[in-house]
């Protein structure tokens, strides 16, 4: 795939991922108000970041005439389902979800930043700032304590990986091999 195609896939999958993240956090916040109220402030803070990330990627795509991911509705509904199911399972599942998703996402962003560094430094910088905030979400979840069921962590990370892989037609894996 040519470089323009890779750049297009990076922006599309990141934008779609942020749309999914927004749906996860919104669904979790709605349910956590009753089931895990102590988590609501940290979930709200992460949600605010995800909204600004989505706006950044939407603007970056718009500037380059790139249309959103064809699988956007799948990210949207996947996010709602993942957020609602984990929130219904309770506090530990909410935090497991945050950790699994943010860990997967920031690893992909690291690959993308390395690839972009020599090609579009401005975008690489913007992405690095977002990556730092995703790591912050991961740390906030780790700091909140509780248990992290291994099966749930593995399942959520696998679903996230699968969505990333499918949305980029496997380009995420090729990109990782190229920069590592």
Chain residues that interact with Fe ion, rule: CB under 5 A: 18, 50, 53, 134, 137
Nearer to Fe ion, 42 or 171 (CB): 42
State the nearest-atom distance from the C-beta of 82 to Fe ion, in Å.
13
CA 70 to chain centroid: 17
Nearer to Fe ion, 9 or 18 (CB): 18
State the nearest-atom distance from the C-beta of 18 to Fe ion, in Å.
5
- Which contacts of 76-81 are long-range, i.e. CB under 8 A and separated by 24 or more positions? 76/19, 76/20, 76/23, 77/23, 78/20, 78/23, 78/159, 78/163, 79/19, 79/20, 79/21, 79/22, 79/23, 79/24, 79/27, 80/23, 80/24, 80/26, 80/27
Nearer to Fe ion, 7 or 21 (CB): 21
State the nearest-atom distance from the C-beta of 113 to Fe ion, in Å.
14
> How large is the greatest C-alpha to C-alpha distance in the chain, in angstroms?
49
Measured distance CA(167)–CA(56) in Å, rounded: 19
CA 125 to chain centroid: 18
State the nearest-atom distance from the C-beta of 17 to Fe ion, in Å.
7
Using Cβ positions, the residue closest to Fe ion within the complex turns out to be 53
State the nearest-atom distance from the C-beta of 107 to Fe ion, in Å.
13
Nearer to Fe ion, 50 or 111 (CB): 50
Query: Distance from first CA to last CA of the chain, Å, rounded?
Result: 18
Nearer to Fe ion, 25 or 115 (CB): 25
């Amino acid at each position: 795939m040519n470089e323009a195609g890779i750049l297009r896939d990076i922006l599309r999958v990141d934008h779609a991922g942020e749309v999914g993240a927004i749906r996860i956090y919104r669904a979790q916040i709605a349910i956590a108000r009753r089931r895990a109220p102590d988590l609501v402030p940290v979930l709200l803070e992460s949600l605010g970041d995800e909204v600004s990330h989505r706006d950044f990627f939407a603007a970056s795509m718009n500037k380059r005439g790139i249309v959103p991911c064809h699988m956007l509705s799948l990210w949207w509904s996947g996010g709602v389902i993942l957020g609602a199911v984990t929130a219904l399972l309770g506090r530990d599942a909410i935090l497991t979800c945050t950790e699994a998703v943010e860990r997967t996402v920031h690893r992909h962003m690291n690959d993308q930043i390395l690839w972009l560094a020599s090609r579009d430094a401005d975008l690489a910088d913007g992405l690095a700032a977002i990556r730092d905030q995703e790591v912050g979400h991961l740390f906030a979840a780790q700091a909140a304590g509780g248990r992290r069921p291994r099966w749930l962590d593995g399942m959520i990370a696998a679903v996230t990986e699968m969505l990333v892989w499918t949305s980029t037609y496997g380009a995420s894996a090729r990109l990782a091999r190229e920069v590592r």
